[in-house]
Structure 1
């Protein structure tokens, strides 16, 4: 067994660049598996240690087993530190349990994918009556009743509803909604009891939030125009694939896609990014090749790649930058 392990390690000696991300993931997994939360200084210390190991490797230039140990250990420490520092960076207030009924004044950041009960809003609270500013969540996801008006992103609204902390897993090992909400900055979830009412805020939003809301408002406006032009049936699907907004897809159509195993089509991911990037790349390269003067003075492949990358980045912003699209 020992001989076999040595042979395998030797065979993988030239593949450290492929094993380094695995080590980073293992380090992050160790952090998330800890029974207790370490102090923030641990993350910074391990980050410094990882940098030190990388400097030792670069200066001493070891070979064989020593090189592999240094690289993989530094990568694992980097993964642990990244998990801890990311946790500290997104840490935000969470709605206290048992608060229940609350009046919220907030900006509409985006119209999230609809839930089973109705459309959902992602809100950036200006204030929640009864909560101190330092205890107010920075983001709240609220579900509206199907008959309530749907405000556009960027609007400032007042709404009354039930707000609770994100729920924990329903059973051991089940989907942990609270963990995902924590890393998305969502500190409260609930449902509206009164229709949202547009208000005039006392001060403008922070510039970064304002930029995000303007982009989301453009996405929402485009989705509405697509549905108005194509109709609810075809337009709802087209709007979902272009802007990421699934609010206009009829429930019967969503159920049919799930039954057919095709629900992933309306989730913007690698397939959509490849289509946009691939067709843009091919079109740009064809246009460059069709202009002899430009084709003789410019690398058509590199120029087309830059155009394709720009198109993919634009589509990423237009689609709301969901996690599958970011990975792609």
Structure 2
């Protein structure tokens, strides 16, 4: 034990230069613990724990590993406290029930142009009509889809629209994507759709820098879609303004299946293209004027302008998490050029993560943050690990007979290696969040990334420069030609057999183990880092748990079951595409269909007949009711009843009765039927007593807290 302890301390001491890289990991750990808690903690808990950590660190000798652990504890407490503080400060009213035919008046804060119409986010909202809440209970923001033929609108306009509204939807099944939490941090207290044409009652200018940028993004997106009205216009808007809502579902799906979806999300790829183009063009322009080139530092001037363009581009794109990370890294690198310093790449990533987490700690839970940082960390770690091998290869190439040929092959190999490493690093996160893995992304990226970098993005940058002159179409048209080629690559690769595979949902423990194993492998330098490989492998080997046998949606209107072949089926009169697709995706299944009992099942009296479906698994007899007239019949001969109609106090025979009131109160329902017993889970029970959970005690406590 003594020898093992000495060896471990020696390894830690030898890695002293890498200790700082674990600072954002500690912050992220504190944030993750906050979101995993079953109930909302006191807002003062994080600061008190951080202060205790500071006191302990003051008593520990400086320069020791114990002191470093104390700083890690302080960082974790800061992350925990920031997450709790942000949850409280963004508290805003949320609709408690659906509202129908309500007059909605509000100022447009954001415009999203969809293939099927326009979706707006309204702020400074007023609701008028039957059942409208009081002003103090009115949501701060609403998201509404406008009908076709909406009037010309701009950010800052005040809109009046007749709409149906409802509270933000919770998870489709326990453990699924939680839109209510996302909406809470965006202060969106209701969503809905227009049932009549909207009217602009007041034209206004957006107030503040953020609103002005939002308005500029909406205006540029509209100009792009006007110049490229086809499907390539949606992709062009996604690349130049970050507005992905206009990209068609078919293109989005083919991009995902081919491994090219990252091109649609403004991230490091796009920031590098923009920074590289600006620096290259400006340095060459200065070099063309010898008197000027002899008197100014072209490299530093180019770095300053490139930094300004990168900041503007990030703001214009709406500052998504990948763009924030990329812009922060680019800013650090460009500042290093200005200060004649050498940038340490993984330190750039670490400080970029700290900045993002300080600004928005809730970003940690999103797929964008996780996949973006996973890919970058893995790529830089692999680049560092192969430094000696790359130097040897470079020397050999320079001494070869045909160095240009070997450079070309080396560039091809580097592109393949980059795609492979990034795919491995992000694969588990894609499986966890999207239930989809792409296996042919290497080939698609080998063609799509150079096309984007050398043709599409330069024309896009030129279009932005020509837009003030009204000549953007001159550049957008050739940009569209390149986008057509990119779409063709995505469609062709995604059509190959096994291009992408749906996988069942992984448990949260898998993601924790894979993340910690990957960080251990990438952030350390000595051989002990290889211990991260089995840790990550264990996370992947855990595999998905057993899928539920019965499902009920959050609104209690959609019922589902899993047949003897393990296939999800819909067994209710009503269907909901969003809900059923979420159910199927989490089961590793491509879509769900109406349940049709087999001949053998029909012979046993099973199947669906006018509002009543009968199903059996082992000893359990199940009835799924969608018609109030069939409720008594179902209750008389079933062990379990799932009802889309009110069954409270009317159904006493079965062992378990779940109706729509239970779903409204507890969220989506999931049941596992086994010979040994019955297991039940609810969406609200899995999330706990948190402010973003409907009907939770902490929601009203946070919203009504004084001074917040």
Q: TM-score per shorter chain, which class? A: 0.7 to 0.9
Call closer, same or farther: CA 1:231–1:68 in 2, change over 3 Å: same
Asked if 1 retains the 8 angstrom alpha-carbon contact of 2:110 and 2:122, the reply is yes
* Alignment match, 1:316: 314
* Alignment match, 1:183: 185
Asked if 1 retains the 8 angstrom alpha-carbon contact of 2:114 and 2:247, the reply is no
Q: What is the CA distance between 1:108 and its match in structure 2?
A: 1.2
1:1-328 superposed matches below 5 A: 3=5, 5-49=8-52, 56=58, 62-112=62-112, 114=114, 118-129=117-128, 130-149=132-151, 151-200=153-202, 207-208=207-208, 211-328=209-326
Asked if 1 retains the 8 angstrom alpha-carbon contact of 2:23 and 2:75, the reply is yes
2:260 and 2:318 map into 1 onto residues whose CA distance is: 21
The secondary structure found in structure 1 opposite 2:154 is coil
Q: What is the CA distance between 1:124 and its match in structure 2?
A: 0.9
1:200 and 1:225 map into 2 onto residues whose CA distance is: 22
Asked if 2 retains the 8 angstrom alpha-carbon contact of 1:13 and 1:64, the reply is no
Alignment TM-score, normalising by the size of structure 2:
0.42
Task: Between 143-152 and 235-244, report the one with greater CA deviation.
Answer: 143-152
2:229 and 2:170 map into 1 onto residues whose CA distance is: 39
Task: Between 126-135 and 241-250, report the one with greater CA deviation.
Answer: 241-250
Q: What is the CA distance between 1:318 and its match in structure 2?
A: 2.0
Asked if 2 retains the 8 angstrom alpha-carbon contact of 1:105 and 1:156, the reply is yes
Asked if 1 retains the 8 angstrom alpha-carbon contact of 2:50 and 2:73, the reply is no
1:98 and 1:311 map into 2 onto residues whose CA distance is: 44
The secondary structure found in structure 1 opposite 2:114 is coil
Asked if 2 retains the 8 angstrom alpha-carbon contact of 1:16 and 1:71, the reply is no
Task: Between 122-131 and 94-103, report the one with greater CA deviation.
Answer: 94-103
Deviation readout 1:177-213 (Å, 9 max, x if unpaired)? 1111111222211222122111138xx78943xx444
Q: What is the CA distance between 1:110 and its match in structure 2?
A: 1.4
Asked if 2 retains the 8 angstrom alpha-carbon contact of 1:13 and 1:68, the reply is no
The secondary structure found in structure 1 opposite 2:139 is coil
1:107 and 1:20 map into 2 onto residues whose CA distance is: 41
Q: What is the CA distance between 1:217 and its match in structure 2?
A: 2.6
The secondary structure found in structure 2 opposite 1:120 is strand
2:267 and 2:27 map into 1 onto residues whose CA distance is: 24
Task: Between 252-261 and 80-89, report the one with greater CA deviation.
Answer: 252-261
Task: Between 90-99 and 175-184, report the one with greater CA deviation.
Answer: 90-99
| Total equivalences in the alignment | 320
2:174 and 2:119 map into 1 onto residues whose CA distance is: 27
Asked if 1 retains the 8 angstrom alpha-carbon contact of 2:151 and 2:199, the reply is no
Q: What is the CA distance between 1:148 and its match in structure 2?
A: 4.1
Q: What is the CA distance between 1:276 and its match in structure 2?
A: 0.7
1:52 and 1:78 map into 2 onto residues whose CA distance is: 14
Task: Between 187-196 and 125-134, report the one with greater CA deviation.
Answer: 125-134
Asked if 2 retains the 8 angstrom alpha-carbon contact of 1:232 and 1:250, the reply is no
Task: Between 103-112 and 130-139, report the one with greater CA deviation.
Answer: 130-139
Asked if 2 retains the 8 angstrom alpha-carbon contact of 1:232 and 1:249, the reply is no
2:237 and 2:302 map into 1 onto residues whose CA distance is: 27
Call closer, same or farther: CA 1:53–1:191 in 2, change over 3 Å: farther
Q: What is the CA distance between 1:18 and its match in structure 2?
A: 0.6
The secondary structure found in structure 2 opposite 1:40 is coil
Call closer, same or farther: CA 1:297–1:45 in 2, change over 3 Å: farther
2:251 and 2:72 map into 1 onto residues whose CA distance is: 48
1:66 and 1:256 map into 2 onto residues whose CA distance is: 50
Call closer, same or farther: CA 1:153–1:50 in 2, change over 3 Å: farther
2:205 and 2:123 map into 1 onto residues whose CA distance is: 9
Q: What is the CA distance between 1:302 and its match in structure 2?
A: 2.9
1:73 and 1:299 map into 2 onto residues whose CA distance is: 44
- Specify the structure having the higher radius of gyration (Cα): 2
1:260 and 1:6 map into 2 onto residues whose CA distance is: 46
Deviation readout 1:292-311 (Å, 9 max, x if unpaired)? 44444444333322211111
Q: What is the CA distance between 1:19 and its match in structure 2?
A: 1.1
Q: What is the CA distance between 1:134 and its match in structure 2?
A: 2.2
Asked if 1 retains the 8 angstrom alpha-carbon contact of 2:103 and 2:160, the reply is yes
Q: What is the CA distance between 1:102 and its match in structure 2?
A: 2.6
1:41 and 1:140 map into 2 onto residues whose CA distance is: 30
2:164 and 2:33 map into 1 onto residues whose CA distance is: 36
The secondary structure found in structure 2 opposite 1:18 is helix
Q: What is the CA distance between 1:118 and its match in structure 2?
A: 4.4
1:160 and 1:51 map into 2 onto residues whose CA distance is: 55
Asked if 1 retains the 8 angstrom alpha-carbon contact of 2:53 and 2:71, the reply is no
2:316 and 2:216 map into 1 onto residues whose CA distance is: 8
Call closer, same or farther: CA 1:296–1:82 in 2, change over 3 Å: farther
The secondary structure found in structure 1 opposite 2:174 is coil
Call closer, same or farther: CA 1:151–1:5 in 2, change over 3 Å: same
Task: Between 133-142 and 37-46, report the one with greater CA deviation.
Answer: 37-46
* Alignment match, 2:570: none
